[in-house]
């Protein structure tokens, strides 16, 4: 994982590469989801926070309608023409930005070309939404360079469409919304049906610890798309617009293939858990929040089947630490990260303890880092 460059370093690299000064620095954070997994594409509730890891783009306008991108951490570069935005097969990392450009153009914005240097410290492929960070940072860059404002909900939808059309993952909207709307020290209760949201303060004394299994997600897109289709089949069988509208009683009353019923059971109960978590946070009942997180993990493991041996091991180790309220996998699953809610004072001791036993049990070196909830995407004009 790369280290985040300072603004001065980023500007210096930009000047060296392009022979002129950057005029904008756009940024957008990754996200961690406290609870509400695989509910967003079922029109349900999620409770994510933006994290203190972000993607930045230093940029300066071009007059020829082209976008020239340098991915500093990957040592790759690519150029595309706004007059004909295509997917790239050789520079896959750029498809998020190509997709965003196509989406902004389709929405009628006066999109202008730019030179851009991209750098960041959101680990790639570990379930912390490096892709959404790249999308939301690029919306900010295009908006600042073109002199227009893209409302957050529209920015999120454009990012989602980029994933669907340019990357091939039929994702929901949680990651983009969290990256766009994040607020320091708050999780966001988002209703993924109407995209309304409410910031919920993280109680003082509680801390979020992210634990990366260091297993990159594999086959994630196809397994993810398959689950999404199973949820749609279940909603259809229940005669509801989306599983958000389903109940466990409705589910018990219809005959469904076992696997489809289990997927639906997870989603319906997970939606309730999100609302219960919000109530518990507001009541300062962190033990209850932890129980709900633990129940979410069990459901994702047993009913939704998106956990892994490494995630289960990590979650178990986190829970065994003094001061841990609860832990679960976060994001799509199939590898990636777990999240724990802990007493703030217990985090420092937990990190080396979890890392050592995880390494012994799996032979893998994990990355553990506490994060505060951070602010959503923004752009700075230089």
Residue 116 sits in the site that holds ligand GLA (CB under 6 A):
no
Residue 271 sits in the site that holds ligand GLA (CB under 6 A):
no
CA-nearest of 140, 75, 71, 148 to 109 is: 148
d(CA 174, CA 30): 11
Residue 336 sits in the site that holds ligand GLA (CB under 6 A):
no
- Within 84-219, residue ranges assigned H as helices are 95-106, 130-146, 152-162, 174-181
Shortest reach from residue 258's CB to ligand GLA, in Å: 22
Residue 172 sits in the site that holds ligand GLA (CB under 6 A):
yes
CA-nearest of 185, 224, 229, 199 to 331 is: 224
Residues 6+ apart with CB under 8 A from 86: 80, 98
Phi, psi of 69 (to 5 degrees): -115, 135
d(CA 106, CA 251): 40
Shortest reach from residue 175's CB to ligand GLA, in Å: 5
Query: Of these residues, 43, 115, 121, 175, which one is catalytic?
Result: 175
Residue 38 sits in the site that holds ligand GLA (CB under 6 A):
yes
SS3 sequence of 98-127: HHHHHHHHHCCCCCCCEEEEEEECCCCCCC
Stretch that binds ligand GLA, among 17-25, 36-44, 108-116, 354-362 (CB under 6 A): 36-44
Q: Which helix (H) or strand (E) holds 339?
A: strand 337-343
Residue 135 sits in the site that holds ligand GLA (CB under 6 A):
no
Residue 171 sits in the site that holds ligand GLA (CB under 6 A):
yes
Stretch that binds ligand GLA, among 32-40, 194-202, 233-241, 273-281 (CB under 6 A): 32-40
Selected from 18, 41, 142, 166, the binder of ligand GLA by CB under 6 A is: 41
Selected from 137, 234, 268, 332, the binder of ligand GLA by CB under 6 A is: 332
CA-nearest of 70, 66, 47, 40 to 58 is: 70
Shortest reach from residue 354's CB to ligand GLA, in Å: 23
Active site residue 175: yes
Number of residues that bind ligand GLA (CB under 6 A): 10
Stretch that binds ligand GLA, among 16-24, 171-179, 180-188, 276-284 (CB under 6 A): 171-179
* Residue 198 burial (CB count, 10 A): 11
Residue 331 sits in the site that holds ligand GLA (CB under 6 A):
yes
Residue 158 sits in the site that holds ligand GLA (CB under 6 A):
no
Stretch that binds ligand GLA, among 9-17, 51-59, 98-106, 169-177 (CB under 6 A): 169-177
Shortest reach from residue 174's CB to ligand GLA, in Å: 5
- Residue 47 DSSP code: -
- The angle at the Cα of 283, spanning 282 to 288, to the nearest 5 degrees, equals 100
Residues that bind ligand GLA (CB under 6 A): 37-38, 40-41, 171-172, 174-175, 331-332
| Catalytic positions | 175
């Amino acid at each position: 994982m790369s280290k985040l460059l300072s603004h001065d370093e980023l500007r210096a690299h930009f000047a060296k590469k392009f022979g002129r000064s950057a005029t904008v620095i756009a940024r957008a954070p990754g996200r961690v989801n406290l609870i509400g997994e695989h509910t967003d594409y079922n029109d349900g509730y999620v409770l994510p926070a933006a994290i203190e890891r972000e993607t930045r783009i230093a940029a300066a306008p071009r007059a020829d309608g082209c976008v020239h991108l340098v991915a500093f951490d990957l040592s790759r570069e690519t150029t595309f023409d706004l007059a004909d935005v295509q997917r790239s097969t050789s520079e896959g990392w750029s498809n998020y930005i190509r997709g965003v450009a196509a989406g902004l153009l389709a929405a009628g914005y006066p999109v202008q070309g730019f030179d851009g240097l991209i750098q960041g410290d959101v680990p790639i492929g570990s379930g912390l939404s490096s892709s959404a960070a790249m999308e939301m940072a690029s919306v900010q860059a295009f908006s600042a360079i073109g002199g227009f404002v893209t409302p957050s909900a529209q920015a999120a939808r454009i990012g989602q469409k980029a994933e669907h059309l340019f990357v091939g993952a039929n994702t929901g909207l949680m990651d983009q919304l969290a990256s766009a709307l994040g607020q320091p020290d708050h999780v966001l209760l988002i209703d993924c049906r109407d995209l309304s949201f409410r910031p919920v303060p993280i109680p003082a004394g509680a801390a979020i610890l992210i634990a990366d299994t260091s297993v990159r997600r594999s086959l994630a897109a196809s397994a993810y798309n398959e689950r999404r289709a199973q949820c749609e089949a279940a909603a259809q069988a229940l005669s509801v617009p989306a599983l958000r509208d389903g109940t466990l009683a409705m589910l018990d009353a219809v005959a469904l293939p076992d696997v489809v019923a289990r997927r639906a059971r997870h989603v319906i109960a997970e939606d309730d858990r999100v609302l219960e978590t919000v109530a518990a946070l507001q009541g300062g009942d962190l033990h209850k929040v932890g129980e709900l997180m633990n129940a979410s993990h069990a459901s994702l493991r047993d009913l939704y089947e998106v956990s892994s041996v490494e995630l289960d091991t990590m979650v178990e180790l986190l829970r065994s630490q003094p001061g841990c309220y609860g832990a679960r996998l976060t994001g799509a699953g199939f590898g990636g990260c777990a999240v724990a809610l802990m007493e703030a004072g217990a985090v420092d001791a937990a990190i080396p303890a979890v890392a050592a036993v995880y390494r012994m049990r799996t032979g893998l070196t994990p990355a553990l880092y506490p994060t505060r909830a951070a602010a959503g995407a923004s752009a700075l004009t230089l």
